[in-house]
Amino acid sequence: MRQSLVMGNWKMNGSRSEGLALANAIVAGLKEGDKGIAVCVPSVYLSDIERAIENTPLALGGQNVADQASGAYTGETSAFMLKECGCEYALVGHSERRTYYGDTDESVAARFCQAQKEGIIPVLCIGETLEERESDTTFAVIDQQLNAVIDMAGIDALANSVIAYEPVWAIGTGKTASDEQAQEVHKYIRKQIAAKSQTVADKIQILYGGSVKPDNAKAIFAMADIDGGLIGGASLDAASFLAIYQAI
């Protein structure tokens, strides 16, 4: 049985005080022994949130990580820095990074490797655009994004990572993939990994992301190959985020 995981992605939203209030409200809704819940917060607030959630079940993640270890890379945040701020996870290859900031399959793979070098669990985001789905290339896109990481990191490295399948057309749009559409791709991802290592395929958590809300979470999470969710908009409200966590 795989441990489930519900992870919030706050993106570039809120202020320091709002972030602290949100983290405190999430923690207030958790009980001792709860597991599998995390928030990826803006990097400038990591230390504040780290202090607020210390010794609670809520884990911390960065929203991106540099593809280099250190040096003259203005504006980047290294895996070491994330680790120092208490991060257990880091998103890599979120579609907003790929679309707006030019993150390529290769740089995403390098970010994945840098995270793992510091003991941070990379959450590899993959998924097709609407155009790619409509032209029947969803699986080819998944293969390309996944293989770029497997080629650089090796299949065994995936055992210490999480995959988030996020159809780009469902992110922040209010349009969710149907439970069956999501399951079909999750099953495909697991099958592709199993072709290289059954052990890794059985172990890896594959999250679904794309307009998950309290009212659709239960049905999505009930699918066999869906181990949890990466939650954007609904993670900005503690009650919604907790309701999604409780749906698992």
Q: Could you confirm whether 186 is annotated as catalytic?
A: no
Give the integer Cα–Cα distance in Å for 37 and 242: 9
Q: Is 205 in the site for ligand PEP (CB under 6 A)?
A: no
Neighbouring CB atoms inside 10 A of 8's CB total 29
For 77, 96, 110, 165, the CA distances from 105, given in Å and listed in that order, are 19, 13, 9, 15
Q: Is 127 in the site for ligand PEP (CB under 6 A)?
A: no
Q: Is 19 in the site for ligand PEP (CB under 6 A)?
A: no
Residue in 98, 233, 241, 247 binding ligand PEP, rule: CB under 6 A: 233
Q: Could you confirm whether 166 is annotated as catalytic?
A: yes
Residue in 106, 151, 172, 202 binding ligand PEP, rule: CB under 6 A: 172
Q: Is 8 in the site for ligand PEP (CB under 6 A)?
A: no
Residue 149 makes CB contacts below 8 A (sequence gap 6+) with 105, 108, 109, 112, 124, 157, 158
Cβ at position 208, least distance to ligand PEP in Å: 9
Q: Which residues of 194-214 are buried (b: 16+ CB within 10 A; e: fewer)?
A: eeebeebbeebbbbbbbbbbb
Cβ at position 138, least distance to ligand PEP in Å: 17
Chain residues in the site for ligand PEP (CB under 6 A): 9, 166, 171-172, 209-212, 230-234
What is the set of active-site residues?
94, 166
